[in-house]
A = this chain, B = another copy of it.
């Protein structure tokens, strides 16, 4: 039975806190795709097909032809940053995309100028912003962000807005009593409590206005009871946290494969080199801690050592990120996995991924924005667990462990889309193909 979904009419504003490498790669890419000079590879909403019905029916529509998504032509980008470079300048500095490509879409990129950021240096010590909102209390700051959103919506004639956090990783901290309810959170805003991180200001502002919010960094941000509560009150979808790219993407592909085959794992050593602004922020131990917690969490849920102690009970897992300027945005990762099989005999798997951080992240931002907008129109509020597929550290209902296995995440996403559109869910059972095998031959 098909869900009732409002059509994707009018313009969709995508507002991004943090117009750095990821965001500018996204924006330049969408412009290039609109100009017909490039393709949105890596984006499920634009490139992927989905199987419907039985295998013999051969129905594989594109996802964008199956569910009612905003079209690229209807997207308007905007955002905030701690530097005042326009998107063309910022993209040129990021050195992710070829300058010739950037020059081909220079006009629309130059037109996007960041709004002043809500920022607190204590949360990102390796950044010194120069394009920053002044404020008395955090409550005032949140109000300024709300004003920004409304002004942007009006100026650009948008019918809907979504927000995706693409800013740097904030320092590590744990939730406290002020993060428990909407009431305590709003009081803390008024008290200008320093335990409210800048990213929470953006999230709060968005949710108050019913603007869907997704978090691409490992900061808590919307992953606190107060903001989950607010998202239900204002009937707004939320998702987080930390875009799943590079090494963790590979890990959540490989680990399910090992556990599928009941192969044991003794150790998993992961290291990275990274020379972009993100690498520089993560060179600070407090910020790395936030990222490390996010990166370390994935294996435990996939391997379930409490259920499989003989296989995963002694796993030693280590993750390192090394700031290494010669490579810029071209992150490289090495994984060494010490596994054991039949009778305990040891084997090793080594993965070397020459990846590109922002190239992998940009289509995730696009998909999250389009799917969050879909969820809003389908009246799905609160945590969107079906978007775990895109996230290193997915937010889930209290009492549920996050699902990290990318293949279960994908089935969840696809079956959610099928469910929304009234198609049969797929179980891969398929015994029926074999019932009358001899007769049919």
Binding site for B on A (CB under 8 A): 25, 29, 32-33, 38-44, 46-49, 55-56, 60, 97, 101, 225, 228-229, 232-233, 249-250, 253-254, 256-257, 260-264, 266-267, 269, 271, 273, 304, 307-308, 310-311, 316, 318, 320, 322, 324-327, 332, 334, 336, 338, 340-345, 347-356, 359-360, 362-363, 382-383, 385-386, 389, 396-401, 403, 406-408, 410-412, 415-416, 419, 425-431, 433-434, 437-438, 440-441
Contacts and interface: CB of A to CB of B under 8 A. Distances in A.
B38 A343 contact: yes
A349 B429 contact: no
Contacts of A345: 97, 356, 359
Nearest to A323: B318
A44 B261 CA distance: 7
B327 A341 contact: no
A362 B416 CA distance: 38
Given A40-B342, A332-B336, A427-B425, A253 B263 contact: no
A96 B97 CA distance: 20
B342 A359 contact: yes
11 contacts: A39-B343, A41-B311, A41-B341, A47-B262, A60-B307, A97-B345, A250-B257, A254-B254, A316-B324, A342-B362, A351-B352
A253 B47 CA distance: 21
A336 B273 contact: yes
Contacts of A403: 428
Contacts of A325: 267, 316
B430 A385 contact: yes
B41 A267 contact: no
Contacts of A363: 262, 341-342
- Across the A-B interface, give the 5 residue pairs with the lowest CB-CB distance, nearest first: A253-B257, A267-B326, A407-B407, A232-B438, A350-B352
Given A345-B359, A355-B347, A431-B419, A407 B256 contact: yes
B307 A49 contact: yes
A108 to B, nearest CB: 15
A414 B233 CA distance: 39
A97 B429 contact: no
